[in-house]
Structure 1
Amino acid sequence: MTGRTIDCWLTDMDGVLVHEGQAIPGAPEFIAALRREGRPFLVLTNNSIFTGRDLAARLARSGIDVPEESIWTSAMATATFLADQVPGGSAYAIGEAGLTTALHEAGYTLTDTGPDYVVLGETRTYSFEAITRAVRLVRDGARFIATNPDTTGPSAEGPLPATGAVAAMITAATGRQPYYVGKPNPMMFRSALNRIDAHSEATAMIGDRMDTDVVAGIEAGLETFLVLTGSTAAHEVDRHPFRPSHVVDSIADLIERV
């Protein structure tokens, strides 16, 4: 134990709170405890397909009551980053409502003519025409941003190509690497901290992946908790050159920490 006081919490969603649409035991109680104690918190996800309202509804169907304003997606973090970089700018966006809504709310204009940025998010209907347009815009000078580097996403039939895989196509055609805003970039965590007016010294991150949640939490200066209900098994922790502050079986073990 580090002895740090934890006033604010960030937590990943898939593998920590839910698995395949079902609440992980202890997750509803953990979120309820945060709300009861008035602890500032955000649920973080690299998923850029859905809006905060969509994700709150999905969690509610799993029995986890998370307010819309307590969800922070890679699309929201990307829109916040762009609004800081070029306020009132323009973007050609490949993505779904989660991304386009976040860009609109950040004051961005969506256009396919001379945009400041090409912004790539996740979608289940990648269009060759849209990717071709993105390639030409990047070659013409638009800056290339992607919401997250995940190369595959889950589906009932098996893995699907995701943002990182499509970004690789655009990079191969243009020679331009994107700037990824989502995990493992600690930028996403810093924007989350700003969102809830939290300080890194008194905030913890709960995640199930060493290569995204834990490493980004460490780089952002947070106390980190790895849960073993998702992508990482206990014997895999020592394969990494960094360690979480704590390894616990599940989020149920953290209810008393609130």
Structure 2
Amino acid sequence: MDLSKKRLFLLDLDGTIYLEDSLLPGAAEFLEDVRAHGSAVRYLTNNSSRGVDAGLEKMRRLGIPAEREEFLTAVEATVHYLRTSRPAGEAYFAVGTASFCRQLRQAGFDIRETPDDDVGAVLVGFDTELTYRKVEDACRLLCRGVDFLATNPDLACPTLYGFMPDCGSICTMLQGAAGREPHYIGKPDPNMIRLALEQTGCAQSEALMVGDRLYTDIACGVNAGVDTALVLTGEATAADAAVSPTPPTAIYQDMAVLLAAIREARR
């Protein structure tokens, strides 16, 4: 992999750029450097608990300049999937935050908060406002036979204290209760990367996917045919990468070490 040829950096956020409200080592310097050299940045996040506006506000609060068009989220991927792959006018029971439901309604979808007879699918996101009532209603619908959709398979979201259950863990609970497997929409599906390549006009060989999860971030890059870099600041370890069915092209301790490798490659 020739890092000097990369001009599109596809970056995960949680566990890669920051943990909660703390920037990870080298993240700010990395972003400043690649922008100064004319490279494009796209933030690819499976976090569906908040919208792009919240993501923008957080980055700016952390002192990182960011633009709306740089964010490609699981919600946007979900909107695209629902518009292109599901029946028009279908009703969805959402297991997600108020922000998640609001974004879907603003996109024109019929989002329900009760297990109505005309609901066509259960749609699960990273729900930091999860209640047992939502779980029970989702199971009622799944046992009835409606479709099971989810924004992403991430099992854990990294925090300063360790990890908290993400969308994949919620789905595992529902799967265990209802005996149904979900269709996952976000990473590792390659559509977010394909959209980023289209937006920037970059070739696959010019892109680098950087993330902390093997089965979402790195697998997404592999599925899209781009080089990948695993950073060890979140979920995965080097030992995990050694046995992964989708190993990364390279492994770096953090964004600071990746930046040093890019600078060395430019010489």
TM range (shorter): 0.7 to 0.9
Q: Distance in 1 between matches of 2:177 and 2:147?
A: 14
Retained in 1: the 8 A contact 2:153–2:216? no
Given candidates 133, 150, 154, the residue that maps to 1:150 is 154
Q: CA deviation at 1:241?
A: 4.3
Which residue of the partner structure matches residue 221 of structure 2? Answer: 217
Q: Distance in 1 between matches of 2:250 and 2:160?
A: 32
Q: CA deviation at 1:98?
A: 4.2
Q: Distance in 2 between matches of 1:52 and 1:40?
A: 18
Retained in 1: the 8 A contact 2:19–2:159? no
Q: TM-score under structure 1 normalisation? A: 0.84
Q: TM-score under structure 2 normalisation? A: 0.81
User: Which moves more between the two structures, 192-201 or 121-130?
Assistant: 192-201
Q: Distance in 2 between matches of 1:169 and 1:247?
A: 32
Alpha-carbon spacing, 1:203–1:242, altered in 2? closer, same or farther (3 Å)? same
Which residue of the partner structure matches residue 107 of structure 1? Answer: 108
Which residue of the partner structure matches residue 48 of structure 2? Answer: 48
Which residue of the partner structure matches residue 92 of structure 1? Answer: 93
Which residue of the partner structure matches residue 74 of structure 2? Answer: 74
Q: CA deviation at 1:208?
A: 2.1
Mapping 1:219-238, distance limit 5 Å: 219-238=223-242
Q: CA deviation at 1:74?
A: 1.7
Which residue of the partner structure matches residue 60 of structure 1? Answer: 60
Which residue of the partner structure matches residue 83 of structure 1? Answer: 83
User: Which moves more between the two structures, 73-82 or 29-38?
Assistant: 29-38
Return 5+ residue gaps in structure 2 as ranges: none
Alpha-carbon spacing, 1:135–1:191, altered in 2? closer, same or farther (3 Å)? farther
Q: After superposition, give the CA deviation of every residue in 1:24-43 in whole Å (9 maximum; x if it has no partner).
A: 23322332344445533211
Q: Distance in 2 between matches of 1:101 and 1:192?
A: 25
Q: Aligned pair count? A: 258
Q: CA deviation at 1:163?
A: 1.9
Q: Distance in 1 between matches of 2:180 and 2:236?
A: 32
Q: After superposition, give the CA deviation of every residue in 1:97-126 in whole Å (9 maximum; x if it has no partner).
A: 442243234321212431232111122221
Retained in 2: the 8 A contact 1:76–1:102? no
Q: Structure 2 counterpart of 1:7, which letter?
A: R
Q: After superposition, give the CA deviation of every residue in 1:178-214 in whole Å (9 maximum; x if it has no partner).
A: 1111223334433544555654343210112333222
Mapping 1:180-195, distance limit 5 Å: 180-194=184-198
SS in 2 for 1:224: strand
Q: CA deviation at 1:216?
A: 2.0
Return 5+ residue gaps in structure 1 as ranges: none
The percentage of aligned residue pairs carrying the same residue is 33
Find out whether 1:208 has 2:208 as its counterpart.
no
Q: After superposition, give the CA deviation of every residue in 1:45-98 in whole Å (9 maximum; x if it has no partner).
A: 221111111122122222222223312222221222111113454321111144
Retained in 1: the 8 A contact 2:10–2:210? yes
Retained in 1: the 8 A contact 2:92–2:122? yes
